[in-house]
């Protein structure tokens, strides 16, 4: 079975369909780009997969088992983690405190800072991040804060990682840093869903793309079988050959 299989996903806001019977399949060890023009339904789909919205129409199978995450914590417990564009961490806590928020290791009833520091450093070294885990999160760049958020999400969830426009505020060097992390996670067998508007990044990192338009599935293909112009045509719903003609 696929790692994640969503079938016939639907969602309406005030009677207007944002998603209309969309299918989406994610494999283990796959980086899957979700594409489409603004308003296509990308964020709505991933909000359903990550438990932000409840599943109203359709089915979700994870590792071959039907699931219906009631909220974000439930999705996380099932193995589906997410990092939002506005990174969901606390700037005024240390890196280590953020990584173990709500689940700090304890010793004789007290938070075991040494143990937490040790585990934090070990966790981050998997991502090639050698930083002071006792420094405030706010002292680091957006890219590093984002990788800390990913490390936490993967440690909590561990099967599926969902990223909605993670590169929006990163420079070229930081994007490469992030993609190095994603490639490592792919190698570990994680399934990764990524939304980005930059097609160069899609061709750089994605194994497969799924395109939505007006809340419907247009198609899903390996990136290697999809020339750039065809992809843009799928997103816009217009034949573009004549432009280059
Ligand atoms: P995308 O992420 O591809 O830009 P969205 O999933 O955000 O698309 O939006 C899909 C459609 O659903 C749009 O028409 C949008 O206006 C509508 N929509 C999304 N979220 C809401 C909401 N909370 N309330 C009402 N309409 C919404
Ligand atoms: Mg949008
Ligand atoms: Mg969106």
Question: What ipTM was estimated for this complex?
Answer: 0.97
Q: Does residue 37 lie within any of the structural domains?
A: yes
- pLDDT tens-digit map of 156-195: 888 999 999 999 889 999 999 999 999 999 999 999 999 9
pLDDT of residue 13: 94
Chain-centre distance for alpha carbon 92: 24
- From ligand 2's centre to the CA of 76, what distance in Å? 24
Q: For the chain, percent helix, then strand, then coil, each to nearest 5?
A: 35, 30, 35
Alpha-carbon distance of 82 to 35, in angstroms, equals 17
Nearest CA to ligand 1 atom 5: 41
Provide the domain limits for residue 54. 4-87+153-244
With a CB cutoff of 8 Å and minimum separation 6, the contacts of 220 are 23, 24, 25, 208, 209, 210, 211
CATH of the domain at 221: 3.40.50.300
Using 50 as the pLDDT threshold, list the residues of the chain that sit under it: 245
User: Strand, helix or coil at 148?
Assistant: helix
Q: Does residue 139 lie within any of the structural domains?
A: no
Q: Does residue 166 lie within any of the structural domains?
A: yes
Q: Does residue 46 lie within any of the structural domains?
A: yes
- From ligand 1's centre to the CA of 13, what distance in Å? 8
**How many helical (H) and strand (E) elements, i.e. helices and strands, does the chain have?**
9, 12
pLDDT of residue 112: 86
Alpha-carbon distance of 121 to 84, in angstroms, equals 23
Is residue 63 left, alpha or beta, with left meaning phi > 0 and alpha meaning psi from -120 to 50? left
Q: Does residue 93 lie within any of the structural domains?
A: no
Top mutation candidate among 41, 193, 209 for ligand 1, by most atoms within 8 Å of CB: 41
- From ligand 1's centre to the CA of 232, what distance in Å? 21
pLDDT of residue 113: 87
Q: What is the dihedral of CA 236, 241, 243, 245, to 10 degrees?
A: 180
Identify the H or E element spanning 116: helix 113-125
pLDDT of residue 105: 86
Cβ atoms 85, 229 nearer than 8 A: no
Q: Does residue 215 lie within any of the structural domains?
A: yes
* Ligand 1 neighbourhood includes 234 CB (under 6 angstroms): no
Residue closest to 120 by CA, chosen among 110, 134, 107, 137: 134
Q: Does residue 216 lie within any of the structural domains?
A: yes
pLDDT of residue 104: 84
Number of domains in the chain: 1
Is residue 114 left, alpha or beta, with left meaning phi > 0 and alpha meaning psi from -120 to 50? alpha
User: Strand, helix or coil at 200?
Assistant: helix
- From ligand 2's centre to the CA of 39, what distance in Å? 5
Q: Does residue 99 lie within any of the structural domains?
A: no
pLDDT of residue 157: 84
């Amino acid at each position: 079975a696929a790692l994640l299989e969503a079938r016939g996903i639907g969602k309406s806001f005030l009677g207007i369909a944002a998603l209309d019977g969309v299918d989406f399949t994610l494999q283990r060890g796959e980086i899957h780009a979700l594409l489409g023009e603004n308003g296509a339904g990308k964020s709505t789909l991933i909000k359903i997969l990550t438990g932000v919205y409840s599943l109203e129409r359709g089915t979700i199978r994870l590792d071959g088992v039907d699931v219906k995450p009631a909220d974000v914590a439930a999705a996380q417990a099932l193995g589906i983690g997410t990092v939002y564009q506005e990174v969901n961490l606390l700037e005024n806590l240390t890196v280590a405190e953020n990584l173990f928020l709500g689940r700090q290791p304890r010793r004789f009833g007290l938070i075991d800072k040494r143990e937490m520091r040790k585990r934090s450093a070990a966790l981050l070294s998997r991502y090639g991040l050698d930083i002071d885990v006792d420094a405030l999160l706010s002292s680091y760049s957006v890219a590093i804060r984002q990788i800390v958020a990913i490390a936490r999400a993967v440690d909590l969830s561990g099967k599926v990682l969902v990223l909605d426009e993670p590169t929006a505020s990163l420079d070229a060097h930081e994007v490469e840093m992030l993609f190095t992390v994603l490639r490592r996670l792919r190698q570990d067998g994680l399934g990764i869903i990524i939304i980005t508007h930059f097609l160069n990044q899609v061709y750089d990192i994605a194994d497969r793309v799924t395109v939505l338009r007006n809340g419907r599935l247009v198609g899903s293909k390996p990136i290697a079988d999809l020339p750039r112009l065809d992809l843009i045509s799928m997103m816009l719903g217009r034949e573009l050959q004549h432009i280059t003609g």
